[in-house]
Amino acid sequence: MGRLNVDLCGVGLDNPVIPASGTFGYGHEFAEYYDIDCLGAFSFKGTTKEPRFGNPQPRIAECAGGMLNAVGLQNPGVDRVIAEELPRLAKVFHKPVMANVSGFSPEEYAYVCERLDKQPQVGWLEVNISCPNVHGGGMSFGTDPEAAAQVVRAVKAVTAKPVIVKLTPNVTDVVSVALACEAAGADGLSLINTLQAMRIDLGTKKPLLANVTGGLSGPAVFPVAVRMVYQVHEAVHIPLVGVGGVSSAEDVIEMMLAGAAAVEIGAANLTDPYACRDIIRDLPAVMDRYGIQNLRDIIGGAHG
């Protein structure tokens, strides 16, 4: 095995770097910039049963230390993803891909996951119970342990591939939700999704986003993500994917020391399309600087 190799729910990765859902489309856009086969994997755009046009404009806003988004899960729906996006992806990415799934009921999550589970390109199902920018679904499942467990049980009943549940930071006790997902059969957890936030336009004196609130991502949320990954690693016995404000090779190593087996990079892709490629390139030198021989040996290394 190479120095950067890790394992995620029984699937081997050449390196732990995974572009996060919603920041990398369905892959082929970024393949115009570089060979995306250098990635460990990537999580494609959040997919729902029916097509979604997303929230009204404006739905993106910059802020100090990151950005706000209220895109609202814009996607073509699972049928078109399978018929159109995955065949296009197969031309530019030749490794297992993570399928990010959202829904508005346990049955809808199960329907989409069952369809995607049958696709040979899909290595993992990332079940998003944490999107703060849709009404009547998404984060509402992730803030209640039993509701989260219901979604996990529904998905696990119809799938064979690893199910990774994406958790929200917009709770007072993320560990209780993590434990409920593990007990319901989740194979892994990814955390965190964006923090609910807002800005006000001084000129109009109204909320800057049409949705009023949006999800805060970028370097500002990194310390929160590290804290939550650390806490959840102390409590569960399934692999974690750390996500939230990661923008450098040093951040990847810090997240892995907190307990992440792999690391997703989100907002950094939106400011620099080469971010993930460059982080992978930089990892060996940073590992040498800190005396790290193999990344898989440092997972959870910050714990006593």
**Dist CA 47 CA 79 (whole Å):** 10
Q: pLDDT digit string (tens) for 228-238?
A: 999 999 999 99
Lowest mean pLDDT among 39-43, 131-135, 238-242: 131-135
DSSP 184: H
Residue 199 falls inside a structural domain: no
3 state SS of 34 = coil
Chain centroid to CA 266: 8
Q: Is residue 204 part of a domain?
A: no
Query: Is 77 a domain residue?
Result: yes
pLDDT single digits (tens) 237-247: 999 999 999 99
User: Is residue 50 pLDDT above 90, yes or no?
Assistant: yes
Which positions are catalytic?
131
Note the pLDDT of residue 53: 81
User: Which residue, among 218, 234, 253, 187, has the nearest Cα to 20 in the 3D structure?
Assistant: 218
CATH number of the structural domain spanning residue 79: 3.20.20.70
Is residue 166 assigned to a domain?
Answer: yes
pLDDT of 86: 96
Predicted model pTM: 0.95
What is the number of structural domains in the chain? Answer: 1
For 11-22, write each residue's pLDDT tens digit: 999 999 999 998
The H-or-E segment that residue 8 falls in is strand 6-8
239 within some domain: yes
Please indicate, yes or no, if residue 241 is contained in any of the structural domains.
Answer: yes
Is the residue at 108 inside a domain?
A: yes
In Å, how far from its chain's centre is CA 148?
16
**Is residue 145, in this structure, part of any structural domain at all?**
yes
Measured in Å, how far apart are the chain's first and last C-alpha atoms? 27
Alpha carbon distance 194, 134 (integer Å):
13
The residue range of the domain holding 48 is 6-53+72-194+221-297
The pLDDT of residue 114 is: 98
Q: Sign of the C-alpha dihedral, residues 173, 179, 180, 181? A: positive
DSSP state letter for 300: T
